Amino acid sequence: EVVKLESFVTSASREMDGAAIAINEQRFAANIVTVVAADEFGVVPDGNIGEFLKMLPGITMDYRGGDPREISMNGVSSANVPVTIGGFALASSEVSGAGRNVELNAISINNLSRIEAVYSPTPETPGSALAGSVNMVPRGAFERVRPVLNVSAFAMFRDNERTLAKTPGLFREPTRKTQPGFDFSWVVPVNRRFGFTLSGNTSTQYAPNDMMSTVWRGTSAATNGAAYPDTPIGQPYLTDYAVLDGMKTTTRSSIGTTLDYKLTERDRLSLSFQYAYLDAPFNNRTLTFLVSNTSLGQFSTKSTRSNATGGALQLVSQARKKSGTSYMPTFVWRHDGAVWKMEAGTGHSYASNHYVDIGKGLFQSSTARRNNVTVTFDNISYLRPETITVTEPRTGQPVDPFNIDSYVLTAATSVPNHAFDVRRSAYANARRDLNLFNVPVVVKGGLDVKQNLRDIRGANTTYNYVGADRRATVTPTDPLGSDDGARAAFDTYTAGRGSPFGFPGVQWVSNERYWDIYQQHPEYFTVNEATAHTGAVNLSKHIEEVVSSAYVRTDAAFFQRRLKGVVGLRAEQTNVQGEGPLTDPTRNFQRDAAGNVILLPGTRTGAPITTDPVRSAQLTRVDRGLHAQKEYLRFFPSLNVSFNVRENLIARAGYYHSIGRPDFAEYRSEEHTSELQSLMRISYAVFCLKKK
């Protein structure tokens, strides 16, 4: 007889956690890809996505200032690793120049659902994925059937600053090194047709940046037979030793939201918005012992002694206040029909990055120096010379390298930088499932356009200290006397603070007090205005790049879908135009009415318009006077194959072509196009997936 069971409802399929969703996405992927839930490795207190990505196979994080900021994949530079959020290009304000590196400073992992690391591209992937790409998927409202709210609060501190009290900080005011923070995520499927997510976090993290550096002649640095005598192979000698006592405080705040709405059972709209703010001031103070010249018999692998006046001491404080803002709205429409499946979307990503110094009341860099001393390194170990002796050669008296009175002020610099990056994206695609001769086939085609705008401005001005007597010196014991003593800029705020690597506390120079001196007595400084103009012009750049793409893709499955193949072709048309510094010495030549250069009598040299160095620099160095336009078309074939060896064992292989686009600054002129790095790559992998 027929047995009729009572009705039952299966709802667990939509109660899957993030790890299960990630595993299933990886299992059914057409290419070599690693998909990991954002909460797979536990809580990341400061929300830095780089601390998560460094755990994925094939990914190496490039660190700056102790933070993982950029992604390298399979040995390929971070400049050739596209990074997207929800498939849309992520803006990154690279202050250091016109590079393509994508910095992750302002991205919070708390706003993400999962991470996709793609190692073998499909036709949908940008052709610039030289060894892969990374896509970050925001949280979605329909990943759950009932609301879920997660909230956490925490406090962060470092082992060497385990205190709640205020201690000497980066600048004038003492600060707390133990800081609270919190994050939350709220997923709310309101009903079957509408849902939303809301997430955010804020954290402040103090980070010491202790470091030492060495210069060994005969290995990392060359000898010259004069100041640095030649040495046999395998017997280098130490000439420079620096110890850095750095501090940085990083504050991250972010918020993200997604609105999901089902127009019909087969059509869905998704609106997402991500916002982040980063504030990361830093102050790095460095004491350097220099052996500027030495002689034969005065050095070995264990000790080095400078000539009588061949040594120097230097104090450098580098500090800036770094901040940046980023935001990214995206809109996507998806149609999941019985015959056709279509998708279209658009996104706008904005990022800014600012390095400010004198605008916030301090120099970027300040230098105090003591020349003409004798420096001796003894008992040199792998870490540092165990004994460092500094003496005055005329008297033989010891010189205290940790005392501010042993130095004179020499120079200070201001290097403000402001960068803005905008990336706009739009795409559309359609796919259809077919059955050809009992073989399931999928045909898909699409278009996308990506626009990248970047604008960079800055300055680089050096203020040379000459004091009240308008005469620069290199030692406070100058026979003619010196009014350039460094105590005028003594950093009393960090007095008594110890130094790393076993050194006693150093009396540092304060960049803020250095700036105070300039505010009160600008006549104590000299500025080369021509050099300052050139520095500002060289930092000024504007770039616009548009990449228009079209692709076609075909999927086929064999042997009851155990063997799957994906083949396709992508075409990308790139159009670039940019503005940068123009250096043209002929702009300072006098010309006649016909425009011909007037030559100096008896020479073949043009007669200058002016001999004033400032005016000459203004004439010959033109802000954004160089204009360049480039365009090129490239094709990117790809093939991906996967085979289900067992239920939980999948073997994959991929073949593809890609390019490494040049930095924007390498688009030099109308006649020259920088060479592109091209790559044909074959990849393979075997995945063992856990049952879920």
Question: What DSSP line would sit under 493-515, residue for residue?
Answer: GGTT---STTPPPP-PBPHHHHH
Q: Residue 669's pLDDT band (boundaries 50, 70, 90)?
A: very low
Distance CA 538, CA 524 (A): 27
* Amino acid, single-letter form, for residue 322: K
The answer to whether residues 541 and 524 touch, using CB atoms and an 8 Å cutoff, is no
Whether the predicted pLDDT of 15 surpasses 50? no
Quick one: CA torsion of 220, 222, 226, 230, rounded to 10 degrees? Answer: 80
Q: Residue 25's pLDDT band (boundaries 50, 70, 90)?
A: confident
Distance CA 199, CA 178 (A): 24
Q: Residue 691's pLDDT band (boundaries 50, 70, 90)?
A: very low
Per-residue model confidence (pLDDT) at position 673: 40
The answer to whether residues 36 and 115 touch, using CB atoms and an 8 Å cutoff, is yes
The answer to whether residues 272 and 310 touch, using CB atoms and an 8 Å cutoff, is no
Q: What are the C-alpha distances in Å from 370 to residues 4, 413, 478, 582?
A: 96, 19, 11, 39
Q: What share of the chain has pLDDT > 90, as a percent?
A: 58
Residues 6+ apart with CB under 8 A from 5: none
pLDDT digits (tens, 9 = 90+) for 279-314: 999 999 999 999 999 999 999 999 999 999 999 999
- pLDDT, mean of residues 522-534: 95
How confident is the prediction for the chain on average, in pLDDT?
Answer: 88
Angle of the 529-539 helix axis to the 613-620 helix axis, nearest 10: 20
Q: Residue 479's pLDDT band (boundaries 50, 70, 90)?
A: low
Q: Residue 531's pLDDT band (boundaries 50, 70, 90)?
A: very high
Q: Residue 690's pLDDT band (boundaries 50, 70, 90)?
A: very low
Relative to beta strand 194-217, strand 179-188 is antiparallel
Q: Which of 466-480, 513-527, 570-584 has the lowest mean pLDDT?
A: 466-480
Whether the predicted pLDDT of 45 surpasses 80? no
- pLDDT, mean of residues 131-141: 90
Give the residue among 281, 309, 283 at the shortest CA–CA distance from 295. 309
Whether the predicted pLDDT of 58 surpasses 70? yes
Q: Residue 67's pLDDT band (boundaries 50, 70, 90)?
A: confident
Give the residue among 305, 247, 146 at the shortest CA–CA distance from 500. 247
Distance CA 474, CA 484 (A): 9
Per-residue model confidence (pLDDT) at position 97: 66
- pLDDT, mean of residues 259-284: 94
Extended strands (E) in 178-309? 179-188, 194-217, 237-262, 267-279, 282-291, 304-305
Per-residue model confidence (pLDDT) at position 295: 94
- Token code pair at residue 461: 């001005």
Per-residue model confidence (pLDDT) at position 79: 87
Torsion angles phi and psi, residue 595, rounded to 5? 90, 5
- List alpha helices for 479-589, DSSP H: 511-520, 529-539
